[in-house]
Amino acid sequence: GAVVSQHPSRVICKSGTSVKIECRSLDFQATTMFWYRQFPKQSLMLMATSNEGSKATYEQGVEKDKFLINHASLTLSTLTVTSAHPEDSSFYICSGLQVALDTNYGYTFGSGTRLTVV
């Protein structure tokens, strides 16, 4: 089945530094990648939607200059948290929408990244 590989699974960084999270679709082409943020025992909050080769569309209240999203190819999307602060600590999850299976709405989720900013 379809797999999205998300790395790193855990990262601890110092306040003020930047962190990059990668999501790769291993056996399908993801025309659209969704990036979510999840707080403990809460639902997923959509941060942005990115389409290959286009600028990402950010949800209201999400700072696009802080959360940089790149979707340069159909198999790779990255989220960079710039100048991270402790309040950015969270669980980040990506989800790829498959081209060929779009009519069946095949969403595949990465395994998530636990970001801790100290």
Partner 1 sequence: AQSVAQPEDQVNVAEGNPLTVKCTYSVSGNPYLFWYVQYPNRGLQFLLKYITGDNLVKGSYGFEAEFNKSQTSFHLKKPSALVSDSALYFCAVRERAHGSSNTGKLIFGQGTTLQVKP
Q: Which residue number, 16 or 55, has a Cβ lying nearer to partner 1?
A: 55
Name the token pair of 96: 């790829």
Least distance CB 102 / partner 1 (angstroms): 8
Q: Which residue number, 16 or 53, has a Cβ lying nearer to partner 1?
A: 53
Q: Measured between alpha carbons, how far is 79 from 64 in angstroms, rounded to an integer?
A: 11
- Contact of 10 with 69, CB cutoff 8 Å: no
Give the footprint of partner 1 on this chain (CB under 8 A). 4, 6, 9, 32, 34, 41-44, 46, 49, 57, 91, 93, 95, 97, 102, 104-105, 107-112, 114
Q: Which residue number, 34 or 67, has a Cβ lying nearer to partner 1?
A: 34
Least distance CB 16 / partner 1 (angstroms): 25
- Contact of 56 with 33, CB cutoff 8 Å: no
Sign of CA dihedral 6, 101, 52, 42: negative
